Structure 1
C-alpha cells in the first residue's frame, strides 16, 4: 500500500468520524470555547487630573435616579460610596470628602450631623449635573432601592470613615451603622464590600469575610474619566483585553455602551 493511499484512507476516516458526530455536539464544543459573559457593575465616573472635584458632575449611583439609570443601561450591579456623618452616627451614600456638589456651605461630611442643625446633611440637595435636586440617602435606603431594582450592591467604605470606625469612643456605634444594614439584608440580597483604606479593608475582612469584593467587579475601562465624558470607543482595546481573561464581573463608567459592545462576544 502506498503512502498516498494511506493518506487517502486517513482523510476518509476523519470525514466519517466528523459526520458521525451529531451537529449539536459540534455546536456544544464551539460554545464551550466562548468566553462567559461577565456581570457588569456601573460606576459613576470621576474626573482625573488636578482639582477633579471642581469638574465633578455627581454621576455616582448613590441616589435613586442614578440607580434607575444604571438599571436601564443594562448594569447588573452598582458601586456605591459609604461615608459616616459626625461621630459615625449615620452611614450615608456620598463620594466626596466634603459636601462639594451639594447645596449649602461646604463642609466635611464627617463634621455634619444627619438631621441636627440648619446645615445638616439630610436637607441638602445635589447642586449640579444630571441628578441635580436629588438628596443624600442613608445606607439602608440605598440598599433597599438597589434590591428593588434587582441589582447587586458593591459598597466602597470611604477612607474618611476610618476616624469614627477606629475611635474607641465611637467605633462600636459607627460599625453598627455600616454592618447592621448589611447583615439585615444579606440573606435576601447580594452585597459585596471593600475599602481602599487598608485598615478598614482588614476590618471588613474580619467582620464580613464572605462578602469581600475580592476579584469581583474588575476595572475594565482604559480611558480616564473627564467632563465632558470622553468617547466610549477609546476603551475598546482594554475592554477586549480584560474580556479575554474571562472575568466574572467588570466595572465600567460606560455600562450602556459596554453592554452593547459585549453583544455577540460572550455567551
Structure 2
C-alpha cells in the first residue's frame, strides 16, 4: 500500500491531538494537593488519666519543659500546650500541671502554698520523679516561652484554675497578674501566643487583659479516647478525628500528636 504525504500529516495531527488531550486530562501533583482542604494546626497535649485515683497513675507526660517540647516538635505539632501555675502569693509563674507536687521529689505540697526558691520545700529544687521525663525540673513561664519560640512552635497557655485564689486576692492580685501577663507581653511581638482557662472568671480576665490572645479555647479537642496509663490505642479516636476534620476545624489538640499527624497524611494540605 502506498502512503501519501497527506495521510502522514493527518496521522501526525491525530497523534498530537491525542497527546495534548492526555496531558490536559491528567492532573498534576500540585493540582491534586491544591484540591485538598487545609490541615488544621495541631497542638500537642500531655495525657492525664481520667479515672478514679488518676494521680497515682499519672506519668507526668505534660510538655512543660524543654524535653517535652522537643518531643512534641519531633512528632509534627504546630503548637504545644503548657500549664501555668502560681507559687505562694503569686510570686512566680511556673509550668506545672498538677495542683500539688505529686510527681515531684520532696514532700507533697500544693503549688500555691510553696515558694519558688525559699525554704526546704521550694519548687525550683524539685525534680520529676517518674514517667518519661523523670529528672526534669520545673521551669518558669518565661523559660518555657523562650524554648517554645526557639523550636518554632505556637505557645498555647492554660492558666490553671488553682491560680484563681491568688489572682482574685486583693493583697496579691496585681503582682500575680504581672507574673503571668508580663512574660506574654514581652514576647507576643516575636512569637505567637494563645491563652485560655477552664475557669470562667479567669477566662474573662484574660479576655480583658489579653483580648487578641485569649483565643485558646477555639482550639478543638479532637480525641475521643480517654487517656489512661498505660496509654490506650489511638485507633479508637479515628471516627472523632474524621468528624472534626470534616467540620473544617482550624486548630485541634490531641494526646496522640505523632499518630494524628500520620493519620492526616493525604487527607489535607499542610
TM over 0.5: yes
Can you give the 5+ residue segments of structure 1 that lack an aligned partner in the other structure? 1-18
Contact 1:220–1:250, Cα closer than 8 Å, also in 2: yes
Aligned to 1:208: 210
Deviation at 1:35, TM superposition (A): 2.1
Q: Of 221, 234, 237, which residue of structure 2 is paired with 1:235? A: 237
1:42-61 to structure 2, matched below 5 A, reads 42-61=44-63
2:13 maps to which residue? none
Q: Quick check: 1:154–1:213 contact (8 Å CA) kept in 2?
A: no
Query: Partners in 2 of 1:26 and 1:106 — Cα distance?
Result: 61
Q: Is the 8 A contact 1:58 1:129 kept in 2?
A: yes
For 1:152 and 1:245, locate their aligned partners in 2 and report how far apart those are by CA, in whole Å: 23
**CA spacing shift, 1:24–1:55, aligned 2, 3 Å:** same
What corresponds to 2:118 in structure 1? Answer: 116
Is 1:134 the counterpart of 2:132? The answer is no
Match among 182, 194, 197 for residue 195 of structure 1: 197
1:57–1:32 distance in 2 versus 1, CA, 3 Å: same
1: distance between equivalents of 2:89 and 2:216? 29
SS of residue matched to 2:83: strand
Divergent runs of 4+, >3 A: 21-33
Alignment of 1:19-98 (within 5 A): 23=25, 33-98=35-100
Mapped partners of 1:215, 1:164: distance in 2: 22
Offset at residue 215 of structure 1 (A): 5.5
Task: Render the CA deviation track for 1:179-221: whole Å, top value 9, x for unaligned.
Answer: 0000000000000000001100000000000001256321001
Contact kept, 8 Å, 2:195 with 2:215, in 1: the verdict is: yes
How many matched pairs? 249
Task: Return the alpha-carbon distance in structure 1 between the equivalents of residues 65 and 264 of structure 2.
Answer: 27
Verify the 8 A CA contact 2:128 2:136 in the aligned structure 1. Answer: yes
CA distance 1:132–1:31, shift in 2 (3 Å) = closer
Write out per-residue CA displacement over residues 49-96 of structure 1, whole angstroms, 9 at most, x where no aligned residue. 112111100000101110110001111100000000000000000000
Instruction: Compute the displacement of 1:33 (Å).
Output: 4.9
Structure 2: tracts of 5 or more residues without a match: 1-20
CA-CA distance at 1:31 after TM superposition: 5.4
CA distance in 1, matches of 2:216, 2:119: 39
- Confirm or deny: 8 A CA contact 2:157 2:216 kept in the other structure: no
In structure 2, distance between residues paired with 1:23 and 1:31: 16
Question: Where does residue 219 of structure 2 map in the other structure?
Answer: 217
3-state SS of the aligned residue for 1:206? helix
CA contact (8 A) 1:85 1:109 kept: yes
Could you tell me how far apart the structure 2 residues matched to 1:214 and 1:166 are?
Answer: 21
- The answer on whether the counterparts of 2:156 and 2:216 sit within 8 Å (CA) in structure 1 is no
Corresponding residue of 1:8: none
TM superposition shift of 1:24: 8.3
